[in-house]
A and B are shown apart, each in its own frame.
Chain A
């Protein structure tokens, strides 16, 4: 079946540091790929998505590129802020299925210190 593997956390960075959170996936066909962010005590919010190979999703300074050859969708940000502290989830959704049946990674907790 489909699976998503995320870089284990927690990740602790200083403000303005470069962020990479690795995500690799296993799926048949051409899934859509997502990054969601969860702030403490809240639900998930879509951060960015990509729906086909070589697409780059971007939002709020975060970027991720859909790499079919390496089955990866790594999240990057050039300069993190304290307000970026949250849990980040990578997810995939096969093109021919319901969006709610997405497969989620276990989440990576990011803490940014001033």
Chain B
């Protein structure tokens, strides 16, 4: 079945450490996105990519980095510069770029600080 796979489901970060969250899709979608979800809040956009080898900052990009070397893959690195990384991270994709397109989400990664 087509979909978005995020791994790992749970991740722990030590102070000063960079960690990378994986996101893979087999939907052949051009556009991919990373969101951060904090308890009781809506989703906030971290980074998005509309095409391979190109990506744009979202609303809260500081302390994060991404790459888009392959259409299927859009990994997110949470760097040591992100001082409050504990959150639920969601990867999503869409078949096109129009505003009426629905988003397809992965099942998320819960990141916690040790």
Contacts and interface: CB of A to CB of B under 8 A. Distances in A.
Contacts, number: 80
Interface in B34-56: 40-43, 45, 48, 50
Main secondary structure of the interface of B (DSSP, over half): loop
Given A43-B90, A89-B42, A104-B43, A99 B98 contact: yes
A28 interface: no
A93 B108 contact: no
Contact of A100 (B40, B42, B48, B107): B48
Nearest to B96: A99
B78 to A, nearest CB: 18
Interface residues of A, number: 30
Contacts of B103: 36, 44, 46, 99-100, 102
Interface residues of B, number: 29
28 contacts: A4-B42, A41-B9, A41-B107, A43-B92, A44-B92, A44-B105, A46-B103, A89-B42, A93-B100, A93-B101, A94-B99, A95-B98, A95-B99, A97-B99, A98-B31, A98-B97, A98-B99, A99-B94, A99-B96, A100-B31, A100-B92, A100-B103, A101-B45, A104-B42, A105-B42, A106-B42, A107-B41, A107-B42
> Which 5 residue pairs spanning A and B have beta carbons closest together?
A43-B105, A104-B42, A100-B33, A99-B101, A93-B99
